[in-house]
């Protein structure tokens, strides 16, 4: 085997692609993405807990309700900002994986809608599961698409 062939191939950090959804903590953009998405996730979790708690304990419930979509938008912004710093191949792989995650989320959302229509209730667990499964789908897709360019 020619040494140049192995040197020209891309080496992808499959563990961080699969489990974390980005190219690694070695890059400042990856560390920034982790910080921003974990902060947004923390706001989302605290907001959902506070919405379900006694209303208006310290902060009005309306603030927690508004914080939920804002945290999701902050996550989207963080990913968009992260994508800008990637080369074209990495952007392509991320965007393909996001398309898979979107398809997973929409499929799972349709199941949640059916549950809501049939039982007139949507368990919070189903919504959390929707987000988790969509992210798992994105991680698997990232590793899959990166492997195609290996």
pLDDT at 70: 94
Q: Report residues of the chain scoring pLDDT below 70.
A: 1-26, 54-57, 124-126
Among the listed residues 131, 134, 138, 139, the one whose alpha carbon sits nearest the alpha carbon of residue 68: 131
pLDDT at 77: 92
pLDDT at 11: 65
Q: 85 phi and psi, to 5 degrees?
A: -90, 0
Question: What single string gives the DSSP state of each residue in the chain?
Answer: --HHHHHHS----HHHHHHTSSS-TTSHHHHHHHHHHHHHHHHHHHHHHHHHSSTTSSS-HHHHHHHHHHHHHHHHHHHHHHHHTS-HHHHHHHHHHHHHHHHHHHHHHHHHHHHHHHHS---HHHHHHHHHHHHHHHHHHHHHHHHHT-
Q: Which two tokens stand for residue 136?
A: 């798992």
What b/e string do you get for 113-141 counting C-beta neighbours within 10 Å, with b at 16 or more? eeeeeeeeeeeeeeeeebeeebbebbbbb
pLDDT at 6: 42
pLDDT at 82: 86
In whole angstroms, give the CA distance from residue 110 to residue 125: 15
């Amino acid at each position: 085997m020619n040494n140049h062939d192995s040197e020209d191939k891309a080496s992808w950090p499959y563990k961080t692609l699969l489990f974390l959804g980005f190219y690694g903590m070695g890059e400042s953009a990856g560390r920034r993405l982790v910080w921003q998405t974990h902060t947004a996730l923390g706001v989302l979790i605290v907001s959902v807990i506070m919405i379900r708690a006694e209303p208006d304990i310290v902060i009005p419930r309306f603030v927690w309700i508004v914080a939920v979509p804002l945290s999701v938008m902050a996550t989207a912004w963080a990913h968009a900002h992260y994508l800008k710093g990637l080369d074209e191949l990495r952007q392509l792989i991320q965007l393909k994986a996001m398309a898979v995650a979107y398809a997973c989320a929409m499929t799972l959302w349709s199941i949640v809608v059916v549950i809501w229509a049939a039982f007139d209730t949507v368990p919070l667990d189903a919504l959390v599961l929707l987000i988790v499964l969509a992210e798992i789908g994105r991680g698997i897709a990232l590793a899959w698409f990166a492997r195609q360019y290996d």
